[in-house]
Amino acid sequence: MQAVTLGPEGTYSHRAASAVTDDVDFRESVTAIVEAVADGEFDRGVVPIENSIEGSVTETLDALTDREVAAVQEIVTPIRHALLARGEDFSVVASHSQALAQCRSYLESEYPDAELEAVASTARGVEHARENPDVAGIGHPANAHENEADDLRVIAEGIQDRTSNATRFLVIAPTDERSDAGGKSSLVVYPNANYPGLLLELLEPFADRDINLTRVESRPSGERLGDYVFHVDFEAGLYEDRAQAAIADVEDIAEKGWVRKLGSYDTEHVV
């Protein structure tokens, strides 16, 4: 089985994808990963969806709205960032925007004058640090020991603003692999409507059937101000009668728009 994830080698996404398969290929954006899986180029894709400090990875949510894929597994992994550089004398800190945000307090107190540069991934930031002594990267500490000649140093470890920092990844697959089995399910709902109580109406079918929601996120549809796409995760499998009944109600409410079932899946915790 071949999976695609955010590259280059050494990203947190790469570490999560390694729990799925050893055969991992890379793309430079989440959108490109979702597109490659939707087009059937890969059996699996691994994309970050949510972080405990910084919240949703909005590019992922939007890519899941724009392309049709199935969610077949969830991977949760602790994120412990290191500051990596060739020496102490750097003026730029380069990393993925999520990683920079997860270390915001540390950077403000320890390097208030550093210029923060958002790049495609943590591993890309570490690559810049390897090439340029003026740049430090934020990423997994294992990136510092790529080869013996590596002169990249771990300047500091555990620099995320909370020790509990963790990221949730979804393993995606072509839609014909969508499963109804699993302890959790994900939906994307576009009601194409805007009236008082709409969101309340969309959530009641789950509450009425004692289904615990684990996340509700609204993203602008892009069509007009105040028009939203809702991402809903809940603790039940699509095989369950109560889940099917709740979704039937949601489909009625969203009759002018659409409801996409990403599928049901289980959670794996990876360190």
Ligand X SMILES: O=C(O)C(=O)C[C@]1(C(=O)O)C=C[C@@H](O)C=C1
Which one, 6 or 144, has the nearer CB to ligand X? 6
Q: Comparing C-alpha atoms, which of 78, 88, 76 is closest to residue 168? A: 76
Q: Which of 79, 82, 94, 135 binds ligand X (CB under 6 A)?
A: 79
**According to the binding rule CB under 6 A, does residue 262 interact with ligand X?**
no
**According to the binding rule CB under 6 A, does residue 48 interact with ligand X?**
yes
Residue numbers 149-208 binding ligand X by CB under 6 A: 167
Q: Which of 45, 70, 73, 98 binds ligand X (CB under 6 A)?
A: 98
Size of the site for ligand X (CB under 6 A): 15
Beta bridge partners of 73: 171
By CB neighbour count within 10 A (0-12 exposed, 13-18 middle, 19+ buried), where does 33 fall?
Answer: buried
From the CB of 263, what's the least distance to ligand X, in Å?
22
d(CA 30, CA 57): 9
**According to the binding rule CB under 6 A, does residue 57 interact with ligand X?**
yes
From the CB of 255, what's the least distance to ligand X, in Å?
35
From the CB of 267, what's the least distance to ligand X, in Å?
16
Q: Which of 27, 86, 96, 260 binds ligand X (CB under 6 A)?
A: 96
**According to the binding rule CB under 6 A, does residue 135 interact with ligand X?**
no
d(CA 229, CA 268): 27
Handedness of CA 190, 193, 199, 204 (dihedral sign): negative
Q: Which of 4, 6, 92, 246 binds ligand X (CB under 6 A)?
A: 6
What Cα–Cα distance (Å) separates residue 196 from each residue in 145, 187, 199, 200, 207? 56, 22, 8, 9, 19
Candidate segments 63-71, 118-126, 182-190, 223-231, binder of ligand X by CB under 6 A: 118-126
**According to the binding rule CB under 6 A, does residue 121 interact with ligand X?**
yes
d(CA 17, CA 25): 10
Which one, 80 or 242, has the nearer CB to ligand X? 80
Residue 257's φ and ψ, nearest 5 degrees, are -120, -130
Angle at 263 between CA 262 and CA 267, to 5 degrees: 110
**According to the binding rule CB under 6 A, does residue 143 interact with ligand X?**
no
CA 23 to chain centre: 20
The residue ranges that bind ligand X (CB under 6 A) are 6, 11-13, 48, 51, 57, 79, 96, 98-99, 121-123, 167
